[in-house]
Structure 1
């Protein structure tokens, strides 16, 4: 049986789902972007920005991932995409067959709810994922304009919103490898105790030696290293962090923005002014 005719949208979605499958069934969206950017042949047109301000091939992926999710082949949670068992089985049909499968099932779901079928156009401005992507882009650009110490203050504010105390925030000058020390209680008597390094390198992927350097200052039981960047991490850095298991955690710019949005309501009014945002609400279908 020959595979159904493929489109570029089908190939991009299929490549992303296969990448998730290869990674054990789950993958952070930023890692999916990185993997496809490095291994999937993208045209100059696909790499351009759409009218909505997002990269075209990413818009294709985000747009059709809504359909993949609605038919039960994909679960999105906190920036991580999880391929379901049914989704993994559907991949056996190849790019064209997989696309026709979920797209057809989603069309039936829409008809059942008397909603018109989505056109194959990833530039529609009312697509929620694209609007969220555009909003995140604006927040990232705001962060990029900050200086390193202002970004360090943002990181400390986020930790406080997450319930940590930050008794130490490094002043200007050498920090000895640690920019922030954070505890779960005012006296620092409970675990984990976070040793945080903050790197404001928006255009640079953090190399593995920085991860190893942070790991080298984790001396005691209950100490956890946290490396926060306004950019990304190299593949070697991510692998090195995984070797530390739960003792070393990486947060890139995408996850930082997600966490800022998630915990914004828990911030003090003073901390909110460091990066002010407002919620936008849509009717849930």
Structure 2
């Protein structure tokens, strides 16, 4: 440290004073072997500190970049969820069926549709996984606010709609969340649940309602290439 260096120089000056009297010059102090050795050690320490500092700066910067991307993803899902909650309910139903299609549930030759606004019988979307409709998934969606949580009565009602269709499977999608009772009922009734958090993550993953703004690639040496 600076204090130790000053103390060291004072000690050298005291030795020179005892040897040369008052004829002390800057050049005389700097020519002393002890001073030269001390300066060399300081320089080596500074070089080491600079190397460590550079490494730490790179690590911190890389971590900051990762944190920045994580925050961007988190902000995006929050914005997307807010956008979904303000979307027209009928348009929202179309979006959800489109998402399930993109996820592959429609199959290669299947078809999907959104039911009429009136007389939907508790079913908002129908996905036929094969051309003959022998394997069908029924969908119910609820564009709810965050505090409007789905409970077991809504799951039981959807289950009743499925039984009327002689269906054995269904998907319940909401922009809010499910109570523990609703989750337990869904397990017993073979109903898949998608809450707001899972919904936005799926939409980002399958690029529904979002688009890639920019792509960055990180390269590394291909050691296998050089070993061939």
TM range (shorter): 0.5 to 0.7
The structure that has the greater radius of gyration is: 2
Contact 1:195 1:223 in 2 (8 A): no
Kindly indicate whether residue 119 of structure 2 is the aligned counterpart of residue 185 of structure 1. no
CA shift at 1:216, angstroms? 2.1
Which residue is 1:169 aligned to?
114
Q: Which runs of 5+ in 1 are unaligned?
A: 1-110, 265-271
Which residue is 1:252 aligned to?
195
**Which one of the candidate residues 134, 139, 149 is aligned to 2:90?**
149
CA shift at 1:186, angstroms? 2.6
Secondary structure at the counterpart of residue 217 of structure 1: helix
1:146-198 CA-partner distances (Å, limit 9, x unpaired):
02111101111112212214443112223101111112223213x3x211111
Which residue is 2:101 aligned to?
160
**Which one of the candidate residues 166, 187, 190 is aligned to 1:242?**
187
> For the residues of structure 2 that align with 1:146 and 1:175, how far apart are their CA atoms?
20
Number of aligned residue pairs: give it: 158
Compare 219-228 and 196-205 and name the one that shifted more.
219-228
- Structure with a larger share of its residues in helix: 2
Secondary structure at the counterpart of residue 130 of structure 1: helix
> For the residues of structure 2 that align with 1:207 and 1:253, how far apart are their CA atoms?
15
> For the residues of structure 2 that align with 1:167 and 1:126, how far apart are their CA atoms?
39
Q: Which runs of 5+ in 2 are unaligned?
A: 1-51, 220-228
Matches within 5 A, 1:262-277: 262-264=205-207, 275-277=209-211
Kindly indicate whether residue 74 of structure 2 is the aligned counterpart of residue 133 of structure 1. yes
TM-score after normalising by structure 2: 0.59
> For the residues of structure 1 that align with 2:131 and 2:76, how far apart are their CA atoms?
35
Contact 1:229 1:252 in 2 (8 A): yes
> For the residues of structure 2 that align with 1:234 and 1:166, how far apart are their CA atoms?
32
TM-score after normalising by structure 1: 0.48
> For the residues of structure 1 that align with 2:210 and 2:56, how far apart are their CA atoms?
36
How large is the Cα RMSD of the aligned pairs?
A: 3.0
- Structure with a larger share of its residues in strand: 1
Contact 1:194 1:225 in 2 (8 A): yes
